Structure 1
Amino acid sequence: MKFDTAYCLSLDEKLSIYDVRELNFDETADFDSDTDSFLCPNDACRAAFKASNTLSTFNAKNVNYQRTPHFKNKTGTQHIDGCRYASTHKGTDGENEDDREDNFPSEFVLTRRTYPRKASTVNTEGQPPQDPTKTPPTRIGTSVSGSDATPDKTSVFAHPVECYVSNIDDKDKLKSMPLKIGEHTATYWTFFKKIEYLQDNKGLIYWGKIKEIKDYTNSFRIDFEKKVWLDKKPYSVNVYLSKKLIDNYRKRKAFLEQIKAAVASERALYCFFYGVTPELKQVPSKKNPEQTFGVFSANIENLDHLIVREVPGAEEL
């Protein structure tokens, strides 16, 4: 059995697998999922066993993954009777479960979640730290409630993207699942807009097949394959990633590993981004700088809200 949420012993908090990936790649965070312990998110179940009754992770540290990240039971993981996380799946090396992401967050929170560590041995009142079997208190800015249910909010862009991508062939499902971003609420199907239709509405998650990624050593430009038609004329679309943006990114190493792999890849790759809408700009011609040509372009403002990845089945849409 695969599931999205688990209790993290070191943080005394329930995390989604996407939160764990964020922490693994964050160069400002002292975190390594391989050395941490993850327990059942069901409070009653967790209280019935020792802290050694742990879960394992799948795709928690792979920068480029093709199969949905998740937590899963180990061979010896135990659960109480009635725990919905109990299963006959015993954590084999081969994954044969449906790769769809079924845990759809209903809100994508634009403010990045923080993950404060629990107190060490004694708190300010001289009491021992909270028992890991108890429900952690609600913290402002967190995306998980005290229940064992999958969180309905996330600040990790990869989570709603994975929901969309892994269910891309199920149009009815995507049309039935609500998503809120800022003050705008729609369905997943409506929020994810193909790049060639970017003029239809602003403030959406735009995505499209990558034609080429220009590597300028310290910066990058992503060119999309599809063009935008305006006044019966086709215009190219691109987004630019500046050196300053990359250098100041807390997940810089992971991002550079991903983008450089994408530059060298011969696979069909797609780019998803949120927060900016490419606008028509006049760009000087390289052959004749006095002449200009039109292109829809935007400077990415937040690398947390950009993903380059494969999208199986996208060519069939």
Structure 2
Amino acid sequence: MKFDTAYSLTLDEKLSIYDVRELNFDETADFDSDREPFLCPNDACRAAFDGGNVLSTFNAKNVNYLRTPHFKNKPGTRHIKGCRYASDHKTATGESDDEREDNFPSEFVLTRRQYLRKSPAISADASPSPEPASVAENRTQTSHHNNDTAPDKTSVFAHPVECYVSNIDDKDKLKAMPLKIGEHTATYWAFFKKIEYLQDNKGLIYWGRIKAIKDYISSFRIDFEKKVWFDKKPYSVNVYLSKKLIDSYRKRTAFLEQIKAAAGSQRPLYCFFYGVTPELKQVPSKQNPEQTFGVFSANIENLDHLIIREAPGIE
């Protein structure tokens, strides 16, 4: 059975699988999900067992993934009777282990979440040392969340993007699920805008199929396939990623691995981004610098709010 949220024993918090991915790739964080003990998010169930009753993860450390990341039970993971996270519980509830993300956050928070470690990391496969009294107490009477469901807010851009991509065949759901970003509230369907329609509204999540990624060694430009029509003329669209932006990124190694692989890939890839709206600019021609041509372009300001990935069935 797959689920989106688990309790982190060392952080003393409930984390989404997207939080875990964020920490895995963060070069400023001492975190490895293979060594971190994750327990059932159900408070009552967690209180019934010791800290060795752990879960495992799926796609927590894969930079590029197709199947939705999630937590899952190990063969020996135990649950109390009636716990919705028991492996056999999906049969009774009709849940399935498919590739769809069902935990829709209602708000995408633009300020990055801070994670504070409460106890030393231990191997998930090792016998845990006795828990400090404060951690044990919090594990059974946690105040971080009042229930075992996924948080209704997220600061990890991959979470709402996965909700949109994995549910693209269910437009009614996407049109029904609300999403708030900053002061703007709309449905998932309205918030995600194809790149060729970027003039319709500002402040949305724009996306499109990638035509090419220009690798300038220390910086990159992402060109989109579709063009924007303006004044009855088509204009190319691109976004630029500067050297300064990349060098200062705390997930620089993982990002460079991903974008360099994408630049050489023959598979259809898509770029999703938030925070900037490409605008019409006049760019000097390489052949004749005195001449210019128009292009819709934007400098990405926050790599946390940009994703390159496959998105089967999105078009």
Same structural fold, with TM-score higher than 0.5 when normalized by the shorter chain: yes
Match of residue 205 from structure 1: 205
DSSP 3-state at the match of 1:283? strand
Match of residue 52 from structure 1: 52
Question: 2:141 is matched by which residue type in structure 1?
Answer: T
Q: Deviations over 1:99-148 (max 9, x none)?
A: 0000000000000000011157xxxxxx843315323334xxxxxx2321
Structure number with higher relative contact order (C-alpha < 8 Å, ≥ 6 residues apart): 2
DSSP 3-state at the match of 2:294? strand
Could you tell me how far apart the structure 1 residues matched to 2:253 and 2:158 are? 17
1:17-166 matches, within 5 Å, as 17-88=17-88, 97-118=97-118, 128-131=133-136, 133-138=139-144, 145-166=145-166
Match of residue 296 from structure 2: 296
Q: Deviations over 1:65-97 (max 9, x none)?
A: 11100001111111101111112389xxxxx82
Could you tell me how far apart the structure 1 residues matched to 2:36 and 2:171 are? 38
Q: Deviations over 1:252-306 (max 9, x none)?
A: 0000000001011100000000000000000000011000000000000000000
Unaligned runs of 5+ in 2: 91-95, 121-131
Could you tell me how far apart the structure 2 residues matched to 1:159 and 1:146 are? 21
Q: Say yes or no: does 1:178 pair with 2:166.
A: no
Question: 1:223 is matched by which residue type in structure 2?
Answer: D
DSSP 3-state at the match of 2:246? helix
Residue 98 of structure 1: how far off its partner (Å): 1.2
Could you tell me how far apart the structure 1 residues matched to 2:263 and 2:300 are? 18
Question: 1:55 is matched by which residue type in structure 2?
Answer: L
Could you tell me how far apart the structure 1 residues matched to 2:283 and 2:165 are? 33
Q: Give the aligned length.
A: 298
**Could you state the TM-score of these two structures normalised by the residue count of structure 2?**
0.92
Q: For the Cα contact (< 8 Å) 2:9–2:139, is it kept in 1?
A: no
Unaligned runs of 5+ in 1: 91-95, 121-126, 139-144
Could you tell me how far apart the structure 2 residues matched to 1:173 and 1:160 are? 13
CA RMSD of aligned residues (A): 1.4
Q: For the Cα contact (< 8 Å) 2:43–2:142, is it kept in 1?
A: no
Residue 47 of structure 1: how far off its partner (Å): 0.6
Q: For the Cα contact (< 8 Å) 1:119–1:129, is it kept in 2?
A: no
Q: Deviations over 1:194-237 (max 9, x none)?
A: 00000000000000000000000000000000000001000000
Question: 1:184 is matched by which residue type in structure 2?
Answer: H
1:272-283 matches, within 5 Å, as 272-283=272-283
Could you tell me how far apart the structure 2 residues matched to 1:274 and 1:135 are? 37
Question: 1:230 is matched by which residue type in structure 2?
Answer: F
Q: For the Cα contact (< 8 Å) 1:113–1:155, is it kept in 2?
A: yes
Could you tell me how far apart the structure 1 residues matched to 2:141 and 2:271 are? 38
Could you tell me how far apart the structure 2 residues matched to 1:82 and 1:89 are? 7
Match of residue 229 from structure 1: 229
Question: 1:129 is matched by which residue type in structure 2?
Answer: S
Could you tell me how far apart the structure 1 residues matched to 2:143 and 2:192 are? 34
Could you tell me how far apart the structure 2 residues matched to 1:250 and 1:146 are? 32
Match of residue 308 from structure 1: 308
Aligned CA distance change for structure 1 residues 255 and 89 (closer, same or farther; 3 Å)? farther
**Could you state the TM-score of these two structures normalised by the residue count of structure 1?**
0.92
Could you tell me how far apart the structure 2 residues matched to 1:137 and 1:104 are? 22
Match of residue 248 from structure 2: 248
- Matched residues, percent identical? 82
Aligned CA distance change for structure 1 residues 119 and 71 (closer, same or farther; 3 Å)? closer
